[in-house]
Amino acid sequence: MKKLRKGDTVIILTGENKTKKGIIYKIYKKKNKALLQNGSEILINISNISFLKKVKYHYYPIKIGFKIDKKGQKQRVSKKTGKIIN
């Protein structure tokens, strides 16, 4: 299970599109890249993007970890708060 999935809102951390938001459209696992949509399509390395969580009206970048629940399934969780990410 990867930390980032199709449909996640992310922010670009480096390059000419730095600080722009986008939604993951497709992930290329072998190349370790993601195709983002933010008006135009951008192919970028996964290490250069960060997950954004929406809290009320604002987006905040967070770090993602994993936790195994009582059923034995892996869940994505926020490292800071420990809350489950859908």
pLDDT tens digits, one per residue of 4-31? 999 999 999 999 999 999 999 999 999 9
Q: Which among 16, 27, 13, 22 is positioned nearest to 40, based on CA atoms?
A: 22
Q: Which domain holds residue 64?
A: 9-78
Q: 3-state class of 73 per DSSP? A: coil
Tens digit of each residue's pLDDT (9 = 90 or more) over 48-81: 999 998 888 988 999 999 999 999 999 999 999 9
Domain total for the chain? 1
Amino acid making up residue 13: L
What is the domain-level CATH number for residue 70?
Answer: 2.30.30
Q: Residue 51 domain-assigned? A: yes
Q: Which residue pairs from 3-9 have beta carbons closer than 8 angstroms and sit at least 24 positions apart in sequence?
A: 3/51, 3/64, 3/66, 3/76, 4/34, 4/46, 4/49, 4/51, 4/64, 8/51, 8/52, 9/51, 9/52, 9/54, 9/59
Tens digit of each residue's pLDDT (9 = 90 or more) over 32-47: 999 999 888 999 999 9
